[in-house]
Amino acid sequence: MTSPASVGEARRRLPREFIDSLDATFPQGLAEKILRGMGARRATTLRVNTLRCDAATVMDFFREHAVKHQRVPWYHDAFVLTEATERDAAAWDLYADGRIYLQSLSSMIPSLALAPQPGETVLDIAAAPGSKTTHMAALMENEGRILANELNAVRAERLSYNVRLQGCRIVEVTVGRGEKIGESMPESFDRVLLDVPCSGEGRFIVFEPGTSRAWSTRAVADSVRLQRKLLASGARALKPGGVLVYATCTLNREENELMVDWAVANLPLEPCAIPLSLPGVFAGMARGLDPRVARAIRVFPDAQREGFFICRMTKT
């Protein structure tokens, strides 16, 4: 088991410009909390695929195999494994036949915030590898339609594999540019999930250099340009009165609050409260911005969760 990294070690190991940005964005105490979270050994977490299984069956398996676990109080189909690793879980039949899905707890929130209903038509605009696509199909009880789009053909194959393994009959996988969907399918969807490509700061782990190696200020700027195009496309694809969830796994304001502020000023989108009771989350940092940006939520990294930003919006 890897020992937690100290704040000082996090400051030494993570990119210098990222540390400077973190200190400029957050109060000192919160910046140090974030760095401690990045230095923690993150627990393995999973979601029960309710299309193939139920939580009681998974708990019976845990008892039979002496798997130490905790149930997630805000989502009873999610579990934290207190000792088992992802490699351990991947060896179980539960995993091999699609009864469980290894997924971070933070990554489960966007689908829950979108709350797709059976019979609806849903767009997942940047869907691979399919954690949220398959989650939404389960929430919809395999009734309705999900269009799951992915730009990269290789990643789309992985998406298709996961969709099949999880038994998601209502999912259609497409390969193409998400920026074009709004133009080709205007006002076609009841709900849109926009879990955008981002700079990934919320996933940094101090003792895994690969998690932060690709980060740069240029990567942040490139992400912002793409995110604006995807947001505009998603808003256009959404029916009037429909719901869009914008989510990232990063921490900076440019890709998060400033993006929502831009959307409010330029698109027919209205931020609204997220209908979930989630412990340990923070409101969006709206200082100097439209006050409705504060309706978004932030999850900061810790021993159980990645850093995430989620904003639920309706089309006016």
Domains of the chain: residue spans and CATH: 44-102 (3.30.70.1170), 105-315 (3.40.50.150)
- The pLDDT tens digits along the chain (316 residues) read 457 889 999 999 999 999 999 999 999 999 999 999 999 989 999 999 999 999 999 999 999 999 999 999 999 999 999 999 999 999 999 999 999 999 999 999 999 999 999 999 999 999 999 999 999 999 999 999 999 999 999 999 999 999 999 999 999 999 999 999 999 999 999 999 999 999 999 999 999 999 999 999 999 999 999 999 999 999 999 999 999 999 999 999 999 999 999 999 999 999 999 999 999 999 999 999 999 999 999 999 999 999 999 999 999 9
List phi, psi (to 5°) of 92.
-80, 150
Q: What is the largest CA-CA distance in the chain?
A: 55
Catalytic annotation, pick one of 168, 249, 272, 311: 249
53 in catalytic set: no
- Give the CA dihedral 170, 176, 179, 183, nearest 10 degrees: -70
Q: How far apart, in Å, are the Cα atoms of 19 and each of 185, 216, 256?
A: 41, 11, 18
